Structure 1
Amino acid sequence: MNHANAMPDIAEDEAPSDQLAEIAMPFRTPAGVLFAEVMQDGHSEIWPINGDKFAELIQRLQRKETGQIFPKKDLTRFIDTLKAEAQFGDVVEDVHLRVARAADRIYIDLCDPDWRVIEIDATGWRILEHSPIRFRRTAGMLPLPDPVPSGSLDALWDFLRIDDPGERLLVIAHLLGTLAGVQPFPLLYLFGSQGTAKTTATEILGSLVDPRVSGVRSMPKSERDLFLAAQHGHLLTFDNVSTITHSMSDALCRLATGATFATRKNYSDADEVYLSACNPIICNGIGHSFVRPDLADRTITVTLSKVPDDERQPHAAVMRAFEAARPSLLGALCAALSTGLGRQNSIAQSTPLPRMADFALWGIACEPAYAKEEGAFLSAYQRNIRQINEATIDEDPLAPRICEILARRDIWEGTATRLDETLRGTSSLPVPQDWPRSARLLSDHLRRIAPALSRIGISLRFDRRGHGRERIIRLCREEL
């Protein structure tokens, strides 16, 4: 392209809209984030207009076409014009990260240099050279391999030491929910002692659906950091999670279900920035960290078996073997997604669904592609929920003592203060450090564990009685 046809500077008396059409098509998302669709090397790319990376892209394209770069003032004016067109123009489009649902199709960004995508529908899957969906990319995203047909998901167990057949189904269902963007997302927790290759297992699952340079990370320290991480990756993977604070437990629940976090812009002014996210999560750890009832309700716990010493291999060798298997594993996942799309509207809801009902329905829809028997997935999921509930009860400071009281009687009634005294007296052991420090906090804690108690046949009710309208707690043992 010669100078007459190259990207021109934006002159004061020229019509910027004509020149913008040759260089980039600006638009905004429904949330007001500004983007531009840029044509490069025969394909389109989606870039956020704010930020140094976009300015570098424009300069690179200008230099490629003309051998020159924009002077700083012309570059600033050009980008400002793009921002104005995006902010005040009529084009409003959704932008997705790695995975998107559109009507009866699923799209997965391969994240390769040519910006190709996998398209999946009820008839199968294929690779598209030009994406009908606008995908954005963030620093550190790595490409997926081209999927290969006729692969088997059974090959995954060559790399993950999961012995329980039902838990294997849950892992595959979590991967399928991640790739299908089925919200809200359950959290997958890989539980195992030392020597079970927890980090490698988490890395393999993450690389299979959303590989990143950063790989497996430590748990963020704050809700703000968690929601920031969610802006840069679809699947979040966290390593060696030992303890979860109450505030982080609530944050993980919000992220799995979908929420918005508001924070001050740059910590320096009164403007707020809103971080909206809903992300699938995989964590690993040694202890039962996800026992707070509301988080436990959103968690799938899978137990990893110890790798025998005579079967242990160097990490690099394991990952080389996994890389060789990854295309066929991705192809098998795509085939399972196609099965789910073909069956999703014909699933008969014959049994009550658990709390993560959308995930459960999607697991049932895809089931013929990864389970040998009908109903195996839901049976495994319900069993897993019961096991997590038992762990929640065992690890709770109050619940075991409540069970002990109701083992001797059918009903207990009284005030929160009296219940506190009664629970303290049921054991000679000192009360745990996380024991509620006041009657109000004890009542709040009871409300949180009420669903877990209900699943083992203990009902909880708060009443007000007498002239003083005294609040009475009623615990009752019921038949399941």
Structure 2
Amino acid sequence: MSEDDKDPARQVIADYAQQFFRYFRTADGTVYAQKNGHPVARPIRSQGTTGSHRQELMVGLFHDGHGVFNGTALKEALDLIEALALSEHVQPVHIRVAPGLDGATWLDLGRDDGQSVRIHPTGWTVLTPDPAEVCWRRTQLTGELPMPAKDTEGKGIDLLMRLCNFANADTESLAIAWLIGCLGPSVPVPAPFLTGPQGAGKSTAGRMLVRIIEGMSGDLRRAPKDEENLISAVAAGWITALDNLSHLNPDLSDLMCCIVTGAETIKRALFTDGDVHRSRYRRPLLLTGIDVGVIRPDLAERLLPLRLERPRVRRTEAELWVEFEEALPVILGSLLDLTVKVRAADAETPTDLRMADFAHLCAQLDIATGLVTLHAYRTSLDDLNDDVIEGDLLAQTVLKHAATLATGTEVRMTSSEWLHCLTALYAGEESRPLPKGWPTTGKVLSDRLKRLQPTLAARNVLIDWGRSRTARYIEMTHQPTEQADQQDSLL
């Protein structure tokens, strides 16, 4: 055959690629390649160490006898494929957990053969998902999970609780509820904060909870110093676990709120002037630490405190992890069994809690098991409200002022008048100096009260804003305890 009769190398590559791979794009315009019949997708522009599509294509061409091609031919072929894929239908890719058809969800086991767990209220099974239904994305953080055990009769949950040092049964039930929530891609779950005295095994328990979902390669990490690095870590895995926190600055606190309930970041795309790259994320978050200091009210509503206690009998690290790894298939199987029962349970959704989806899950867990998880969740939120108040002198001063009001009395003043009133109450007759961060203007006071509004409402002090003919005002009402209880029961 003459040189003129040979197909160009880029044509050989493009024909081979379209024969053995399926190409599609996501909503942000990224083009992915998926081997026919296999659920794992790789971005065609990826050069990552988890295996790029370029490498996958080169290996396939070599093994099938087409030879070795130079970089120019591969680049030209991939440029053409990328352009053609931009006209294909949009399909999302998922990390670890994904929604499926008919009310099912999927759990990626991280296996090379693509086998995954399909979870449905009627049961769970291990199989390879249809690529048209689920497309998995893998990163270096995607560890392999063992094949879950069948017919465990709940033994795995007991094994897990025996390995962790949770303080009481309520804490154990909240940990189980969080794990079940992690298997639901559409359920935002509060971030468990594992706390307790030094030596209580907080980091070890955190690793165990993470590795049930992420495999034995899952681990805790230090909180990144900037927002961009934390978002990159969040986007590359399913559960983000931060270890040994001792302080939460306002920026990190706000970012954690976004991670739990979902947000989007936009930054300039590389090597462009006007194009942008969008990153949407909502991930389970786990924290450990003895004490993080002052907790902001908006983060407190998104936290799930799990207290641990020091074990009476110490074990070596090696013995502990050998036992956990051996028990992991049973633990995962029991968790899947319980998840099926919980999703099949019919429960009303509590409408008075911020994380209503998780509260509904707690109610379902109670019906399926007879536990009191929802009550434990409410109690934990009350404890967090106490922590917020103890760390905020303005909140303490507002409650001190409200205690002087007759129940049901409404007091209206402008923000400047409230600032003068509360400042005088805090300073007292001895005119003690105001603390750092005390509001300096009526506007700052109004903004602080908006943050504290849910916390104060939990202590029967209602704050509202309005406008009269002459000026705006802030209204404070000391609600009777009986009336508050009636409203909670109606909710």
- Please give the TM-score of this superposition, normalised by the length of structure 2: 0.86
Cross-structure match for 2:485: none
In 1, are the aligned partners of 2:248 and 2:292 still within 8 Å (CA)? no
1:204 is the counterpart of 2:208: yes
Structure 1 position 444, deviation (Å)? 0.5
1:9 is the counterpart of 2:13: no
Secondary structure of 1:163's counterpart equals coil
Q: Which amino acid aligns with 2:95?
A: L
Cross-structure match for 2:347: 347
Work out the CA distance in 1 between the residues paired with 2:426 and 2:173.
42
Cross-structure match for 1:97: 95
Structure 1 position 289, deviation (Å)? 4.6
For the structure 1 residues 8 and 197, does the alpha-carbon distance in structure 2 shift closer, same or farther, using more than 3 Å as the test?
Answer: farther
1:190 is the counterpart of 2:194: yes
Choose which of 446, 450, 459 in structure 1 pairs with 2:449.
446
Work out the CA distance in 2 between the residues paired with 1:368 and 1:380.
14
In 1, are the aligned partners of 2:42 and 2:137 still within 8 Å (CA)? yes
Work out the CA distance in 2 between the residues paired with 1:288 and 1:455.
22
Structure 1 position 254, deviation (Å)? 1.5
Work out the CA distance in 2 between the residues paired with 1:184 and 1:267.
35
Work out the CA distance in 2 between the residues paired with 1:466 and 1:208.
60
Q: Which amino acid aligns with 1:137?
A: R
For the structure 1 residues 32 and 425, does the alpha-carbon distance in structure 2 shift closer, same or farther, using more than 3 Å as the test?
Answer: same
For the structure 1 residues 363 and 82, does the alpha-carbon distance in structure 2 shift closer, same or farther, using more than 3 Å as the test?
Answer: farther
For the structure 1 residues 199 and 437, does the alpha-carbon distance in structure 2 shift closer, same or farther, using more than 3 Å as the test?
Answer: farther
Choose which of 273, 278, 288 in structure 1 pairs with 2:277.
273
Work out the CA distance in 2 between the residues paired with 1:63 and 1:70.
9
In 2, are the aligned partners of 1:98 and 1:135 still within 8 Å (CA)? yes
Cross-structure match for 2:149: 148
For the structure 1 residues 154 and 413, does the alpha-carbon distance in structure 2 shift closer, same or farther, using more than 3 Å as the test?
Answer: same
For the structure 1 residues 434 and 155, does the alpha-carbon distance in structure 2 shift closer, same or farther, using more than 3 Å as the test?
Answer: farther
Work out the CA distance in 1 between the residues paired with 2:340 and 2:246.
37
For the structure 1 residues 222 and 416, does the alpha-carbon distance in structure 2 shift closer, same or farther, using more than 3 Å as the test?
Answer: farther
Choose which of 439, 457, 462 in structure 1 pairs with 2:460.
457
For the structure 1 residues 397 and 225, does the alpha-carbon distance in structure 2 shift closer, same or farther, using more than 3 Å as the test?
Answer: farther
1:229 is the counterpart of 2:195: no
Gaps of 5+ in 1: 1-6
Work out the CA distance in 1 between the residues paired with 2:461 and 2:200.
36
Secondary structure of 1:447's counterpart equals helix
In 1, are the aligned partners of 2:300 and 2:388 still within 8 Å (CA)? yes
Structure 1 position 15, deviation (Å)? 11
Cross-structure match for 1:22: 19
In 2, are the aligned partners of 1:189 and 1:284 still within 8 Å (CA)? yes
Q: Deviations over 1:74-121 (max 9, x none)?
A: 110121122112212x23222111011223212100001211101122
Cross-structure match for 2:138: 137
Work out the CA distance in 2 between the residues paired with 1:251 and 1:333.
30
Q: Which amino acid aligns with 1:234?
A: W
1:335 is the counterpart of 2:333: no
Q: Which amino acid aligns with 1:141?
A: T
Work out the CA distance in 1 between the residues paired with 2:435 and 2:244.
24
Cross-structure match for 1:259: 263
**Aligned residues, how many?**
458
Cross-structure match for 2:54: 55
Cross-structure match for 1:478: 479
Gaps of 5+ in 2: 1-6, 482-491
Choose which of 34, 38, 63 in structure 1 pairs with 2:31.
34
Work out the CA distance in 2 between the residues paired with 1:182 and 1:336.
18
- Show the 5 A alignment for 1:213-228: 213=217, 215-228=219-232
Q: Deviations over 1:223-256 (max 9, x none)?
A: 3222222210111111011111212212111121
Work out the CA distance in 1 between the residues paired with 2:398 and 2:269.
46
Structure 1 position 466, deviation (Å)? 6.5
Cross-structure match for 1:324: 326
Choose which of 372, 381, 384 in structure 2 pairs with 1:385.
381
In 1, are the aligned partners of 2:143 and 2:218 still within 8 Å (CA)? no
Structure 1 position 184, deviation (Å)? 2.2
Structure 1 position 407, deviation (Å)? 2.4
In 2, are the aligned partners of 1:177 and 1:359 still within 8 Å (CA)? yes
Structure 1 position 327, deviation (Å)? 0.6
Cross-structure match for 1:170: 174
In 1, are the aligned partners of 2:242 and 2:288 still within 8 Å (CA)? yes
In 2, are the aligned partners of 1:420 and 1:442 still within 8 Å (CA)? no
In 2, are the aligned partners of 1:208 and 1:326 still within 8 Å (CA)? yes
RMSD of aligned Cα (Å): 2.5
In 2, are the aligned partners of 1:191 and 1:287 still within 8 Å (CA)? yes
Cross-structure match for 2:297: 293
Work out the CA distance in 2 between the residues paired with 1:327 and 1:15.
42
Structure 1 position 475, deviation (Å)? 2.6
Work out the CA distance in 2 between the residues paired with 1:419 and 1:143.
60
Structure 1 position 436, deviation (Å)? 3.2
- Please give the TM-score of this superposition, normalised by the length of structure 1: 0.88
Structure 1 position 464, deviation (Å)? 4.0
Secondary structure of 2:236's counterpart equals coil
In 2, are the aligned partners of 1:227 and 1:276 still within 8 Å (CA)? no
